[in-house]
Amino acid sequence: MGDLRSLTHGAGGSSFTELLRQQAPHLLPGAALGESAVAGAPELPHGTTIVALTCADGVVMAGDRRATMGNVIASRDMEKVYAADDYSVVGIAGTAGIAVELVRLLQVELEHYEKIEGTLLSLEGKANRLSAMIRGNLGNAFRGLSVLPVLAGYDLTARQGRVFSYDLAGGCYEEAAHHSIGSGAFFARGALKKLWRPALAPEDAVRVAVEALYDAADDDSATGGPDLGRQIWPTCAVVTADCTRFVPAPDLERIVTDLVAARRDNPGGAR
Nearer to other proteins, 15 or 160 (CB): 15
List binders of other proteins among 107-136 (CB under 8 A): 108, 111-112, 115-116, 118
Residue 93's beta-bridge partner residues?
148
What is the nearest approach in angstroms of other proteins to the Cβ of residue 112?
A: 5
Q: Which residues, 6 or more positions from 148, have their beta carbon under 8 angstroms from its beta carbon?
A: 92, 93, 94, 134, 166, 167, 168, 181, 182
What is the nearest approach in angstroms of other proteins to the Cβ of residue 242?
A: 15
3-state secondary structure of 214: helix
Nearest-10 crossing angle of helices 16-23, 96-117: 110
The one segment of 13-21, 187-195, 208-216, 263-271 that binds other proteins by CB under 8 A: 13-21
- Contact between 8 and other proteins by CB under 8 A: the answer reads yes
Q: Which helix (H) or strand (E) holds 254?
A: helix 249-263
The number of residues that bind other proteins (CB under 8 A) is 23
- Contact between 267 and other proteins by CB under 8 A: the answer reads no
List binders of other proteins among 49-78 (CB under 8 A): none
For the window 17-46, what string marks contact with other proteins as x by the rule CB under 8 A?
Answer: --xx--xx--x-------------------
For residue 185, give Cα distances in angstroms to 68, 213, 227, 252: 15, 9, 20, 21
- Contact between 7 and other proteins by CB under 8 A: the answer reads yes
List binders of other proteins among 75-104 (CB under 8 A): 104
CA distance linking residue 212 with residue 50, whole number of Å: 9
CA dihedral 242, 84, 228, 261 (to 10 degrees): 50
Of the candidates 48, 54, 223, 244, the residue annotated as catalytic is 48
Active-site residue flag, 8: no
Q: Dihedral sign for Cα 115, 116, 117, 118, please.
A: positive
Residues that bind other proteins (CB under 8 A): 1-5, 7-9, 12, 16, 19-20, 23-24, 27, 104-105, 108, 111-112, 115-116, 118
Active site residues: 48
